[in-house]
């Protein structure tokens, strides 16, 4: 039997699962809570110079107050485009312009909007769980093929399978904890 490096395989699976978790955290960052956060505006795209550009590439996003965001637009010809991108997003924000500075007050969330955001967070969480389970399935199939090709024994297949399942359970638990924290943050009045 050739020497199979399970450590490298496990490291790759962990890296991919962590990637799914990072995507979830980015998506959570885009969900509005009652507090101002620069991550709220980062995913927005602005019509600039004939193409779509991420908002942080056309101006500096700041948090001057707990319930206020500001965007210092570098090119004054893009101020209207930045304002339009913020207004047209589904974040329910109403920006106001002062020269090249766009102020974005963060209104308090009503109960209905909070419940809606929790549902969106739940959808993002389920997508992350599915991604992690798909990575696990891929790892398990790889083990099955290695055993079939005679590269690992049935015992190793069983032991490595348990390790992959343990890793999967740990990553799903982390995602569920992140969801619970985000839900608490959204529902906090």
User: Per-residue confidence of the chain (189 residues) as pLDDT tens digits?
Assistant: 446 888 999 999 999 999 999 999 888 877 766 667 787 788 888 988 889 988 889 999 998 888 888 999 999 899 999 999 988 887 778 899 999 999 988 877 788 878 888 888 899 999 999 999 999 999 999 999 999 998 999 999 999 999 999 999 999 999 999 999 999 888 876
Q: What is the CATH number of domain 6-29+110-187?
A: 1.10.132.20
Could you give the CA distance from residue 51 to residue 58 in angstroms, rounded to a whole number? 12
Structural domain boundaries in the chain:
6-29+110-187, 38-105
Distances (CA, A) of 7 to 4, 11, 142, 152, 163: 9, 6, 14, 14, 11
- Among positive and negative, which fits the CA dihedral 139, 145, 146, 148? positive
Q: Which long-range contacts (CB under 8 A, 24 or more apart) does 171-179 make?
A: 171/17, 171/18, 171/20, 171/21, 171/132, 172/129, 172/132, 172/133, 174/21, 175/21, 175/24, 175/125, 175/128, 175/129, 175/132, 176/125, 178/21, 178/24, 178/25, 178/28, 178/125, 179/121, 179/122, 179/125
Instruction: Let me know if the fold of 6-29+110-187 is the same as that of 38-105.
Output: no
Could you give the CA distance from residue 2 to residue 106 in angstroms, rounded to a whole number? 60
Q: What is the CATH number of domain 38-105?
A: 3.30.1360.40
**pLDDT single digits (tens) 20-62:** 999 998 888 777 666 677 877 888 889 888 899 888 899 999 9
């Amino acid at each position: 039997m050739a020497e199979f490096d399970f450590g490298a395989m496990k490291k790759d699976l962990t890296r991919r699962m962590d990637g799914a978790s990072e995507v979830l955290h980015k998506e959570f960052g885009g969900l509005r809570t009652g507090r101002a956060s620069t991550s709220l505006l980062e995913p927005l795209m602005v019509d600039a110079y004939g193409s779509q550009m991420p908002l942080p590439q056309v101006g500096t996003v700041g948090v001057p107050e707990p319930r206020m965001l500001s965007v210092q637009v570098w090119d004054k010809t893009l101020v209207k485009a930045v304002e339009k991108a913020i207004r047209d997003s589904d974040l329910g924000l109403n920006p106001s312009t002062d020269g090249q500075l766009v102020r974005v007050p963060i209104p308090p969330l009503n109960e209905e909007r909070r419940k809606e955001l929790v549902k969106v967070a739940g959808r993002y969480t389920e997508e992350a769980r599915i991604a992690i389970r798909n990575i696990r399935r891929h790892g398990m199939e790889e083990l099955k093929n290695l055993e079939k090709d005679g590269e690992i024994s049935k015992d190793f297949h069983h032991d490595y399978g348990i390790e992959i399942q343990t890793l999967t359970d740990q990553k799903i638990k982390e995602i569920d904890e992140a969801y619970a924290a985000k839900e608490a943050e959204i529902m906090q009045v």
